[in-house]
Amino acid sequence: MKINGTIINYYFHCKRQCYLFANRLNLEDNSELVKIGKAIHEQKSSDSDNSEISIENIKVDKITKEYLTEIKKSDSDINASKWQLLFYLKVLKSKGIIRKGKLECVEKKKSDNKVYYFELTDEIEKELEFHILDIKKLINSESIPTVLNKPKCKKCAYYEYCYI
């Protein structure tokens, strides 16, 4: 499987989730949380003229003159979302399209909505390339990473697979 934004996100969220997803053990369609995330995506994207644009193997939510915007249902794993967005900026850059990144987190209460901004500097791009190499190694490995045993597992689409 080609590296995409979801794989990057999972790598930072949980290496086991990254491995399982990239090796096509996809249990996500049954997850309530994934459905909520998709519904928010669809709603927000339909509010915009520049909604869901596909470039190579990535789908970006919105592009304006200055920003590429990614929409998430919460900022519970901001680090994973940040690297996913940086990966999109890198793919765009490889096509000659230079943008800054904007991450919109749509919380249950509208007043809690948050916006974060990121830029792909040369240094960050090098770090990202290092992570991409590590991800390739991880998903081609013979062994599945161990279970995390963290509270976030309860919200994960792979919970039953990992614990039951």
Q: Which stretch binds ligand SF4 (CB under 6 A): 25-33, 76-84, 109-117, 145-153?
A: 145-153
Q: Is 148 in the site for ligand SF4 (CB under 6 A)?
A: yes
How far is Cα 164 from Cα 161, in angstroms, rounded to an integer?
A: 6
How far is Cα 33 from Cα 130, in angstroms, rounded to an integer?
A: 30
**Minimum separation from the CB atom of position 160 to ligand SF4 (A):** 9
How far is Cα 134 from Cα 33, in angstroms, rounded to an integer?
A: 28
How far is Cα 127 from Cα 124, in angstroms, rounded to an integer?
A: 5
Per-residue binding string, ligand SF4, 7-36, x by CB under 6 A, is -------x-xx-------------------
Taking Cα atoms as reference points, which of 11, 17, 19 lies closest to residue 127? Answer: 11
**Minimum separation from the CB atom of position 155 to ligand SF4 (A):** 8
Are the CB atoms for 16 and 145 separated by under 8 Å? yes
How far is Cα 85 from Cα 124, in angstroms, rounded to an integer?
A: 12
Q: Which stretch binds ligand SF4 (CB under 6 A): 64-72, 83-91, 118-126, 156-164?
A: 156-164
Q: Is 162 in the site for ligand SF4 (CB under 6 A)?
A: yes
Q: Is 156 in the site for ligand SF4 (CB under 6 A)?
A: yes
Residues forming contacts to ligand SF4 in the complex (CB under 6 A) are 14, 16-17, 147-148, 152-153, 156, 158-159, 162
